[in-house]
Amino acid sequence: MPELPEVEVICRGLLPHIFARTILSIHCSGKKLRTPVACQEMKDELCGAKIVSLTRRAKYLVLKVDKGSGLIIHLGMTGNLGIFAAGSPQKIHDHVCWLLDNNTELRYNDTRRFGSIQLLSFKNGSREEEQFFSATGPEPLSRACSIAYLRQRARQRRQPIKSFLMDSHMVAGIGNIYANEALYRAHIHPQQAAASLSTRDWKRLLSVLRKTLRQAIDCGGSTISDFVNASGEGGYFQMNFLIYGKKGEPCSSCHTPIEKIQVGGRATFFCPCCQPKVSGDESAEIPRTR
């Protein structure tokens, strides 16, 4: 599944091609994504409107038009957005196509159809967007995601720090790959209880997390599974992975074999030497409540 850097790369890649362009028509395959696509309503709201912004929030893309309506798009596991010449052959899994006034099409392709496209109405779009993201935590690259914020949210939480980082209610957009990488670079065991981290731990972790995310964005994201950017090119941050997917390989720092466990049902890689488990620290998964 595309994580924050991959979605940010797609956002930056698409924006110059679609900004200030008018949507002339919309075509849908008729196939259901994770949720049904409101194709007719989307035509009513967006056709004839000019695109005024494309931003990223967590792992979502938010497209706005001058009418006040818009879209919240999630790429799921295999979704991608790209720009193509109007009338060029479509692929079998192109599910939504927006024809623009410069004779190009913005196309949403999703082989497994786990993504989603939610319409924001021109009457209540701002309220609908606010409600949609109401439970989402701050962006990890933002000032709102401070050491004080993280310590306060982690207080008395016995869940593993890796699960805490991947909880979108706590921090937005950090997926499995970058949680693994950040914890390794910060020398923190993925099963350490979030509440047990000191201010010094949080300072180090937040610093390396931001550095890792920025590096991944600069590299164009990671080529994992079906990710491609808006130009159809894969990213290459995977060449800089220090821990993810390297079970049994020697740690680049101490040469100890990297181990793999499951944390929160997700593949978790760590170095038992560089990321020692804190003595007496017991973490436990805490069921999420809404």
Question: Over 30-58, what HEC string results?
Answer: CCCCCCCCCHHHHHHHHCCCEEEEEEEEC
3 state DSSP class of 118: strand
Q: What is the reported pLDDT for 152?
A: 96
Q: How remote is the C-alpha of 138 from its chain's centroid?
A: 13
For the chain, what percent of residues have pLDDT higher than 90?
78
As a whole number of angstroms, the distance between CA 249 and CA 246 comes to 5
Please tell me if the domain spanning 4-132 has the same topology as the one spanning 147-270.
no
Measured at the CA of 78, the angle between CA 126 and CA 161, to 5 degrees, comes to: 75
Measured at the CA of 148, the angle between CA 263 and CA 204, to 5 degrees, comes to: 60
Q: Is the pLDDT of residue 231 over 80?
A: no
For 139-158, letters b (16+ CB in 10 Å) and e give bbbeeebeeebbbebbeebe
Confidence of residue 289 (pLDDT cuts 50, 70, 90): very low
As a whole number of angstroms, the distance between CA 35 and CA 209 comes to 32
Tokens read off for 86: 């109007």
Q: Is the pLDDT of residue 190 over 80?
A: yes
Q: Choose between 79 and 286: higher pLDDT.
A: 79
Length of the chain: 290
- Please give the average per-residue pLDDT across 110-115, as a whole number: 95
CATH level 3 topology of 147-270: Helicase, Ruva Protein; domain 3 (1.10.8)
Q: What is the reported pLDDT for 239?
A: 54
Residue-wise pLDDT for 53-94, tens only, equals 999 999 999 999 999 999 999 999 888 899 999 999 999 999
Confidence of residue 196 (pLDDT cuts 50, 70, 90): very high
As a whole number of angstroms, the distance between CA 191 and CA 210 comes to 21
Q: What is the reported pLDDT for 274?
A: 97
Beta strands in 114-207 (DSSP E): 116-120
Confidence of residue 290 (pLDDT cuts 50, 70, 90): very low
Q: What is the reported pLDDT for 104?
A: 93
Tokens read off for 6: 């991959």
Q: Choose between 62 and 279: higher pLDDT.
A: 62
Amino acid at residue number 241: F
pTM of the model: 0.88
User: Which CATH superfamily groups domain 4-132?
Assistant: MutM-like, N-terminal (3.20.190.10)
Q: Using an 8 Å Cβ cutoff, are 237 and 219 in contact?
A: yes
Please tell me what DSSP assigns to residue 239.
G
What is the number of other CB atoms lying within 10 angstroms of the CB of residue 134? 7
Amino acid at residue number 39: C
Q: Is the pLDDT of residue 113 over 70?
A: yes
How many CA within 13 A on the CB side of residue 207? 9
Q: Which residues belong to the active site?
A: 2-3, 59, 266
Q: Delimit the domains of the chain by residue range.
A: 4-132, 147-270
